[in-house]
Each structure stands twice: as structure tokens, then as C-alpha cells.
Chains A and B, each alone.
Chain A
Amino acid sequence: MGRTADQGGRNRPFSKGGLRLLMILLLIPLLGGCWDLRELDSLALVFGMGLDLGPQGDGYRLTFEIVRARQIQTPGPGGSGGGGGQRNPYWLLQATGPTVFEAVRNATLQSSRRLFLSHTQVFIIGEELAKAGISPALDFIIRDHEPRIVKWLLLTPDEPKQVLAVEPGLEQITAVAIADLIQNYGITSKIKPVRVVDYLETRMHKTSANTLPIIRIKETAGKKELIIDRTGVIKGDKLVGYLDPKETRGLLWVQDEVDGGVVTVDAPGGEGKATMELFNADTKLTVEGNEHGIQVRIEVKVRSGLGAQTTSVDLSTTNQIERLEKRQAEVIREEIGAALTKARDLKADIFGFGEYLYRHDHRRWKGLESEWERYFVGAEVDVSVEVMVEEVGLITKPTIYRAPEGG
């Protein structure tokens, strides 16, 4: 045996044993083959996920919005023909389990395909669950490698299943429509968009309260529509109250998250209104404090332009513009004030004043932390708003007909 190997070694670059070893080494990388193979058509693509408490109040009931990809094909020759009749482009599947993970696995008992969570666009949390505590439900979403933590997190007072069942006006998939709704927040700045990771980040800070956008079903003339118009306040992982759109924007002003939107003011020097378009908003927040109390300074700088007016008064004069600026600042101050009042009522630091101190004045913070709620409620807040109206649009004189005076 040994002799043959020696003879082999004389003629070839590798001995027989060496060659065998080399082959084995070369084949090792292939051993991992196929174990994680999952054909595209064996996956149930989950786009929206609803989370709520189980029927008996324990465990979780999940709703999955699963896409019927075949129904979403773009029309083309032979494209839609094979579908076998039009069906709803998505399928709602509910599953229950003691944990979210088990509920996800249990869903496969009813689904012919393995659920694939990587493309889930929105996570919608039912009110009941929100009142009981959100974090335990999010654990799986963060821990598992499939769901993405940069996707949107929302609250709903309705049942998540009902929300996902609403047929969207333009999109084919409800979850996609909801994600688009949130992404458009900059047009109004009346929605506070929150990703799973944002929620966690705020959650990690003990004194800060979380906020989540609220999606609900609005029924008009028997037709169901989805609307996001409020914000839920989550204090210590539990839902404690709501902010209306005005308060929501107040919150966004403080957090420097106003991207755009409009502010309507009473037109100066006449009946009617003027709507200002926000071009740019910049907020500077400073929090200072000691054991006697804290002082918060919120400086907002806004650049805006006249977008519409319902009065016949010419607003394009310097004088009027100055008054417009003043009134607009007033409105913004009101919005911030409303948010502050609500936050004080709920004793929830939704603005993250505590976090600001934690970051900027850590030593002081140590002393205030234990009684932060008291300090927060008693905080002296100084709001200053500086508005600059930069333009009045393509026309200067108002279009509204003015009756000749005295005539």
C-alpha cells in the first residue's frame, strides 16, 4: 500500500493521499449546499403585520397581510391571463400563539407557504395590546433576522385585521398604502412617523415617553378609508393618551421634525384666512436645570410663503407681511403650547427634555432623574418663534373681487 503511494508520488505533483485530501478540501465548501434554499414561489410574502392581544387576553393574535403576487402582475401579453380570475391581491391570515414567534410559526398551519417577513412594511399594534405593553410583542421583531426594524410602527384603536382589510384607494396592498401615507408626512407635518428602531431608542431612555402614529378607519358613505390623524402617547411602554393633529405638530416643532406643511392664520386687516406654506423650519432646544426646577428654551425659526388667502385685502405689503409673520408665530406658539399642556397632563416627557439633560449635563441629570416627572411638569418653558415670510407666490394682488368702497 505504502509502496504504491510512493510510486504515485514520483510521477504526479500530488501523492494519492495528498490528492484525495485536496479533493476533500475542495469539496468542503459545497457541504453547506441548499440547506437554506427557499424557492421564490414557496414563500408567502408578508407585507403588513398586525399585532394584538389573544382572544382570552393572553398570548398574541397576529394578522398577516400576504401578497398574492400573481394578482399584482402588470398587464401585458399573457401576464394576467394565467391568474385564473381576479382575486383579492392580498390574503389576510390570522394566527395565535403564546408568543409572537410561536404565533408566526402557527400561521404556517394555515398557510401553504412559509411566511417571509423580510418585506413587512408596517407593524400595526392594536389598542388593547398597546395598553398592556408593547415591548414584549416587539421582542421577536427585533430578535429575529427576518423582520426589519427600520419599518413603520403604528397604533390602531380598531382591530388590526380590520385596518389591513380596508381596500386602499390607489395601491393594491394596504400595507404599502399605509407606509406611503406615513412617508408623506412632510406634506402636512401632522403625523409623527416612528420606526421600530425609533421606538426602541426612545424606550431605552427611562424618562422619555414614546409616541406612535394612530391609524384608524374612517367611514364615509359606507366606504371605509384609512386615515392617520392622531398620535398615541406611550408612557413606560403603555398607551396613556392621544395627541390631536395640532398637538402632534406641536410635538414635531419641539423635536425639530417639521419638514413642511401649512399654517393657517386669520388674515390681518379683514375677515377671512391666509394659509402659509412652510419652506423650512429649524428648532433649537436647550434644557437647563438644577434641583429647583428646569428651564426649557425652544427657539423656532421658520421660513414660509403665502400660499392662499380668502380675504380681499392685499397682503403683499411690507406692513401686512410683518403682521402675517406675527400671527403665524402666534399659531405655532399655540401648537407648541397645546402639546406641552397635553404632555404635562399625561406627565409624559414626549419631547425628550430628560434625554437632552442626560446628554448635555449628565451630572445634574443624575440628581433630577428620580423625580423627573415632577420636574418635567413644573418646567419653565420659554418659546420663541421667529417667522420670515419670503414670498407671496406668483401673484401679488389678491384675486378676490373687492367691491368699490362707498359706491
Chain B
Amino acid sequence: MMFGFLRRKLRLAYLRKKPPTPSSRRNLSPDLEANLAAFRRKLGASPDLIIRRLRLGPETGIAGALLMIGGLTDQQVVNRDIIRPLMNEMKQAKGKGTEDLLDYLADKVVVIGEVRREPQFEQALDLLLQGDTILLLDGEEEALVFTTQGWKTRSIQEPESEQIIRGPHEGFTEDLRTNTALLRRKITNPGLQFEETKIGRRTQTTVALAYLRGVVNEKLVKEVRTRLKRVNIDQILDANYLVEFISDAPFSIFPTITYTERPDVAAAKLLEGRVAILVDGTPMVNTVPTLWVESFQSPDDYNFSFHYATLIRMLRYLSFFLAVFSPAIFVALASYHQELLPTPLLVTLSGATEGTPFPIVVEMIMMGAFFEILREAGIRIARPVGSTISIVGALVIGEAAVSAGLVGGPTIIVVALTAITSFVVPRQVTAGIVLRLTYTLLAGMLGAYGILIGMLFTLLHLASLRSFGVPYLSPLAPSTAADLKDVLVRVPIWAMGTRPRLIGWPRPQRQPVGFDQVVEEEREGANGADG
């Protein structure tokens, strides 16, 4: 019902969307004062708009003005490489030569890497707001735009949401340019392509699309491009604003677009033939297509020996299973299928639940909710107070509730088990909560039969999901035998000769399999990736 409603709203939104109106293409006027007035009118009395008036050339010279936004430009660069040469050079200049003044300035005076001419007012305004410096000259119908962006950014730090033991410890930052640089450092190949667009009518957020030409499926790039183009949104403050627009299954609890905070992970995905979407201001890079099994992979899997990685991989699947099913199974066993419990366990359970006032399913949901509240409080609260929360929570949950006879001890154990295991697979935490609650309720109503019904519908749903054309459950269903090398087990790196079948098929072979690395004639040539 609610979905229908949302879907209709969505349709409306699509209908309402119009192609971006050709903005009032106003050209700059040759009159300096008129231009300045126009900028002031648009920006209001913003104190961060800096207007530096200057006069170029000998004698009175030509009146001009530099416009910049304080804090967005690198002051040192502006002073040293724009203002000083302008004043010094122009003093000696013999006046305007035969060439165009603006070209002259750009070519011979200013010491800035990127300079361009901009005839349009709106465009110039946008560039100004992005940290460029604009030079307006009296009598010129175009402005000179110097790229002088320079603002405070967070330095490259260890990613907090994806800790690893071995391997690189650097993480993406909020600055898009830093992030693209991090990717370039990982993949030194001309095939690595970035395409940038601005999305967000008011925020004008830069969104970059990254892929490895020669490996990527061009149709996929096209599809991502199309979807990004269709997004008509007011603001993008985090990548998720975008993700919810372009996701294949906007209503699904399962994420069909994954994220990473780590350049090495993003690079690995690019090398497999995936497309990365980088959003300025977000230290997370989204990669598509996303498979369900990706959630269970960790960069450390490839940094440790494959035996260990395989064991841990299996533990992760087990943990996810426990996180989702253990409360439901416990409820089903304790309320419906007591004959399935081993006898000693039954006695223990029976003794522990005796005298507690609520049915087990109510206990379970109560304590589950309590845990989620605790978790949420732990995240939201200021860090110094956090330890208070955990102490009170642990005491209340662990001790008081049991000794007061409100809930049985086993319930606490199951909730605790759920709590721990659910964090083993961070990418499925959100889906896990929903599944867990649903299964627990179903188990409370129908026992194991209910769990089976729930599983059936979940599997149906999972099997129907796609992420940018790739079945979400692949390589499990549809199964691709060759790709199972990195699902439940992680085979040695030297055995991972092929890219994922459904994603990297344009160029499936990474390298020959095995140790037999006889230098082969590179079939595609040194820069074969470019095709």
C-alpha cells in the first residue's frame, strides 16, 4: 500500500522533471561597474565576497577588479601569482599591443596553471562560487577565470568505518580531487577515466564517474551516465542522496549500490570492471554493479593467506546467518518445537524462562529493541558520555533484567550473540535488522514454518534483485562456477585469473592462472587497455 503511494509520488516526480532550463544566458557587459553590481546583486552583502580593485598599466591604466570568495581561494597564490605579476608586468608594459589584452594577460602575465575566458555571467558566478578567481576588466566583454581553489581539507586518514590489519591504511577524504588522486596512485594506467558532472540544482555538487577503459563494459558506463543525468535533485550532501535516486531497487532493504572508504577497495573494483561514483564532499566511494556476496568480502581477505581468509570468510557467512536467524530460531524452538531441543538444554531453558512474565517472543523483541536503542545512543551521544551508556546498558541488560526475573538468561545470550554477529558484516547491518525483526515475529506467530515462509520470500526477493543489470545473487544464482573462487572460499591470488564473469566479461582474463608466468607476448600490446 505504502509502496504504491510512494511509487505514484515517484512517477509524479519524474513527470515534473523538466530538462534543465537554459539558464538566463546573460553575457557580461563591457562596463566594469555594471558587472560588479550584478555580482553584488546576486550574492547580496556576503562578507566573504572579496573584490580587489586594481588598475593595470602605466598612468591611470585600465580599471579592473579581482573577485574571489574568501576561504575558498588560496590567498597566497592569488597575491603572488595573480596580483603581483599583474601590477609589475603592467607597469612596464608598453600598453596594449596588437594582441588581445585578455590573451596577453593569460599567456604572458599571470602565473596560474589553469586560466580561461568566460563570456557568460552565470557561468562566471558559478566558477566564483567554486573557488575560482575572476578578473573583470573595464571595456572587456569577457572575464578571465583563474583556478585558484584552495581550502582547508581533512588530511588523508585511516578509514574509520573499514578498519583492517594489514594493507594500506589510507582512506578517502571529503575532497574529490584528493580522492581521484588516490585512485590514480593505485592504478597507473591511462585507461583510468574520470567524468565529472554537477548534480544538485542548488548545491552544484561535483560527481565523478570513474572506470577503467578497456576493462569496463561500455554499456555499463553509459547506463550509469544516463541514470546520473536523470537525477534532478536540489541538494547532494552525501553520496546516499544520489544512491537512493539511481539504485535499481529503491524499496529494497538490500543495498544494490555499495560503498567503500578505501582507495584499495575502490581500485580493486575498478580493476574488476566496475564503475565508481565519487561525490564531492563524501569520503565514501560508491561502486556498481554491487553483488550480495561483496558484502562478505573484506580487503584483509586478500592481505592474509588464503587459508585464513577462507576460514574468516566462512565465519562471516555464519555470523550473518546467526545475526539474522538466531532470535527467530530460539523463539521457534522455545515456543513451538520443544521436542527438537536436546534434553539437557531444554531443562536449562525451561528453568531459566520459568517465572518470567512475558512470552519468549515478546522478551526477544523487547531486548532486541533495547539493544538497538543502546547502540543508537552510543553512536549519537558525545564521546565522553559514551562509556556511561555502555555501563548502564550492560548492567541493565545483563544483570538487572535477569535477576529481577523480567527476562530469561538465554534471551540475553541470544540478543548478545545477535548484537555481536550483526557487526561482522557491516554492509548488511541495515538489512539484517529488518530481516531479524521480521523473522522473529514470524517465528513467534508460526514457529519454524514462519521462518521458512520468511526465508522463501526473502530468497524470492533477493533472486529478483539486480544491480545495474547484474543479478544481485550472482555468482550464486545464476551460478557461475568460475566466480565461486571468491565467495565461500578465497582461492590463492595466483588462481584468480579471471574477472567476475558478469561484470568483467569484455576482458575476462586478468593473467594466466598459476605460477607459470612465462612472459607471454602481450596480446593487446602494452597499452592494450585503451583498445
Contact = CB atoms under 8 A, between A and B. Distances in A.
B366 to A, nearest CB: 15
Nearest to B356: A41
Contact of B8 (A11, A36, A116, A118): A11
Contact-residue bracket for chain A: 20 to 34
Contacts of A32: 446, 449
Interface residues of B, number: 31
Interface in B434-448: 445-447
A63 interface: no
Interface in A8-26: 11-12, 19
A12 B360 contact: no
A237 to B, nearest CB: 29
Nearest to B452: A29
Interface in B381-419: 399, 402-403, 405
Nearest to B402: A78
A118 B338 contact: yes
Contact of B445 (A33, A71, A74): A33
A33 B332 CA distance: 12
Interface stretch (B303-311, B343-351, B422-430): B343-351
Contacts of B338: 38, 40, 43, 116, 118-119
Contacts of A2: none
A30 B447 contact: no
B402 A73 contact: no
A274 to B, nearest CB: 41
Name, among A33, A39, A116, A146, the residue most crowded by chain B CB atoms within 10 Å (CB to CB). Answer: A39
Given A30-B446, A119-B343, A121-B343, A38 B335 contact: yes
B453 A40 contact: no
A39 B359 contact: yes
A221 interface: no
Interface string B1-27: 000100010000000000000000000
Residue with the greatest number of chain B CB neighbours at <10 A, chosen from A12, A70, A121, A146: A70
Given A33-B445, A41-B356, A69 B350 contact: yes
B336 A36 contact: yes
B350 A41 contact: yes
Contacts of B450: 33
A43 B338 CA distance: 9
B297 interface: no
Given A12-B4, A38-B336, A121-B343, A43 B350 contact: yes
A191 interface: no
Contacts of B449: 32
Contacts of B447: 36-37
B258 interface: no
A33 B444 CA distance: 9
B354 interface: yes
A45 B354 CA distance: 12
A317 B19 CA distance: 107
A168 B413 CA distance: 32
B260 interface: no
A317 B449 CA distance: 68
B433 to A, nearest CB: 21
- Which of A40, A41, A69, A70 has the largest count of B CB atoms less than 10 A from its CB? A40
Contacts of B399: 78
B334 interface: yes
Most chain A beta-carbon contacts within 10 A, residue among B343, B360, B445: B343
B405 A40 contact: no
Contacts of B59: none
A67 B352 CA distance: 13
B445 A34 contact: yes
Interface in B323-365: 334-336, 338-339, 343, 346-356, 359-360
A40 B348 contact: no
Contact of A119 (B4, B346, B356, B445): B346
A49 B134 CA distance: 96
Contacts of A67: 347, 350
Contacts of A121: 343
B73 to A, nearest CB: 52
A36 B449 CA distance: 11
17 contacts: A11-B8, A12-B4, A34-B445, A34-B446, A37-B335, A37-B447, A38-B336, A40-B349, A40-B353, A43-B350, A45-B347, A70-B354, A72-B348, A78-B403, A81-B403, A119-B338, A119-B339
Given A40-B349, A45-B347, A119-B338, 17 more contacts: A12-B4, A30-B446, A33-B445, A38-B338, A41-B356, A67-B347, A69-B347, A69-B350, A69-B354, A71-B351, A72-B351, A73-B348, A74-B348, A82-B355, A116-B338, A118-B339, A146-B339
The 10 closest A-B pairs by CB, nearest first: A118-B339, A69-B351, A69-B350, A78-B403, A33-B445, A73-B351, A41-B354, A40-B334, A70-B351, A70-B354
Interface of B: 4, 8, 334-336, 338-339, 343, 346-356, 359-360, 399, 402-403, 405, 445-447, 449-450, 453
